[in-house]
Structure 1
């Protein structure tokens, strides 16, 4: 019996994180779409480190299940949390979340996964995330720099970069915008390339590994891999190392995760574009302090409901 009780306690701790030195503080609920997402792990850690001294918080992980996240959201509403931070499983659900929160006068901050709803019609809902178009442009700039400096190996000597794109979730605003802007920007930068495939791997390292296996027959022709995030880029690295024992082509990621930066140091990934967690966390904290404490930062535009943070190029 003691072992069973211990297991139940352990499972509870894994599913729900909470903390604050003073439970009389304002209560913040944090909903994360998947606890296994590398970027969101780092993002959540940054948010918690920023708010934990001043606010009580609880975290719910949805494991990519919208029904589970909706249940967690309603639980926070029913328990009268003062603010809810939402990393949505399905952006289409954001409208019902906003409506329910408005009815209960609870502000929302959507993060990373842009709500497919008009925030400007909401009294107190915000979105904080990356400027995904800028990210696609910066990835294209990296390619232009590599071409200019002859850093891409032209395997077939045709003067054209044979390229594949590893794409995040279909319909996710970041994966769509990053991909479209990257392709458009390559054209504007007058880069000669051939797009061999766009393969959806849902931000996931293992799925990217499997997608590379599916593309195995064209690997000898691929000269560049552009990924919507670092985890999928690392999935490509994993497969290439397993097949060849080395990385013989250039790979570009997005996010600037710790594992992505380590891969740059190890010459496995050529570059990444940061998805600036620090700047996004600062924006979340300013909005939170404004909504829950009435604290105003004169340098912050609270009227702007979409806070889009630009990234930066990182390479060795």
Structure 2
């Protein structure tokens, strides 16, 4: 456990750096025009929330990938998991004349009218992680959240013991990824395993601290919990933290989605069972190539998904090596 703690402390520093970058960016001002202007294209990235470890990782990768484009300046804004803040940031980006806006929605339906405003203003508009469906004139870069949930749910059918008691952690209400991952669990796992009982289920908003608090209450209310089923890794990590060191939960299984650096370390340490990778590096690369193609006229609209590999103890070292090389794990 000592080695895991050291590694996670290093990861925490990297995440905090991303948060500072996002919070301090003021976006500049002025209108660079649709041809890129003398200083190239100005792109606003409206991130969902930097307290979400995956969102922080993605924002970091977006910053890094933007540096590969001499004609793009990327400004990152932290939506703080707050619809009003995120909607205001989209409005401000429109008013400040950005050439392109990339939106990582907190709640797709809450952001929809503002994304539509961006499209109507003639601004290149991309939704990502999650995509916001059915907005004519917008583009999207995402993963398939049903497939992400199904990847780990199918494993759990064989791994979770008979007559198990489980808890379920969901992301924000109305969030496409949370809803579709939960749908996958319902159809791919619970429909196949009617013997399994859900003893508690609640929304933790992708947040580790909220999940930790819920799990503390659930552990007090239930004398047995056999598995944590979480719609992302951050919430799974918080729930695991709540019962760490308690011998009654040594054999508890835990499933997530995102394949974050922290999750790979938890899997390597035997604390987490499996996750599905949502590769922030790949998302960032596709987002930046997509927005560049749209700005330069190489494409009119783009809708693309990344892959969803499952990470378990059998292949976790491959992903630890990937994160170590990227500087996200010491």
Shared fold, TM over 0.5? yes
**Shorter-chain TM-score: which interval?**
0.7 to 0.9
- 1:88 Cα deviation after fit: 2.2
Give the alignment of 1:8-87 within 5 angstroms. Answer: 15-17=23-25, 24-54=39-69, 55-87=72-104
Alignment pair present for 1:211 and 2:214: yes
Structure 1 residues 35 and 243 mapped into 2: Cα distance closer, same or farther (>3 Å)?
A: same
Instruction: Give the match's secondary structure for 2:98.
Output: coil
Q: What is the CA RMSD across the aligned residues, in angstroms?
A: 2.7
Q: Assess if the C-alpha contact under 8 Å between 1:109 and 1:126 holds in 2.
A: yes
How many corresponding residue pairs?
Answer: 285
Structure 1 residues 100 and 303 mapped into 2: Cα distance closer, same or farther (>3 Å)?
A: closer
Unaligned residue ranges in structure 2 (runs of 5+): 1-18, 28-36, 314-330
Q: Distance in 1 between matches of 2:21 and 2:268?
A: 35
Q: 2:134 aligns with which of 113, 118, 131?
A: 118
The answer for the alignment partner of 1:5 in structure 2 is none
Deviation string, structure 1 residues 190-213 (Cα, Å, up to 9, x no partner): 574222222211111111111012
Q: Distance in 2 between matches of 1:232 and 1:12?
A: 22
Instruction: Give the match's secondary structure for 1:221.
Output: coil
Q: Distance in 2 between matches of 1:313 and 1:130?
A: 13
Q: Distance in 2 between matches of 1:190 and 1:101?
A: 45
Instruction: Give the match's secondary structure for 1:57.
Output: strand
Q: 2:296 aligns with which of 293, 296, 308?
A: 293
Unaligned residue ranges in structure 1 (runs of 5+): 1-10, 153-158, 297-301
- 1:103 Cα deviation after fit: 3.1
Q: 2:125 aligns with which of 108, 124, 142?
A: 108
Q: Assess if the C-alpha contact under 8 Å between 1:237 and 1:247 holds in 2.
A: no
Q: Distance in 2 between matches of 1:45 and 1:79?
A: 23
- 1:245 Cα deviation after fit: 8.4
The answer for the alignment partner of 2:205 in structure 1 is 202
- 1:315 Cα deviation after fit: 0.8
Q: Assess if the C-alpha contact under 8 Å between 2:225 and 2:249 holds in 1.
A: no
Deviation string, structure 1 residues 19-70 (Cα, Å, up to 9, x no partner): 9xx9812100111121211001111111121112321111111222333223
Deviation string, structure 1 residues 281-311 (Cα, Å, up to 9, x no partner): 2321231121112346xxxxx7554x33341
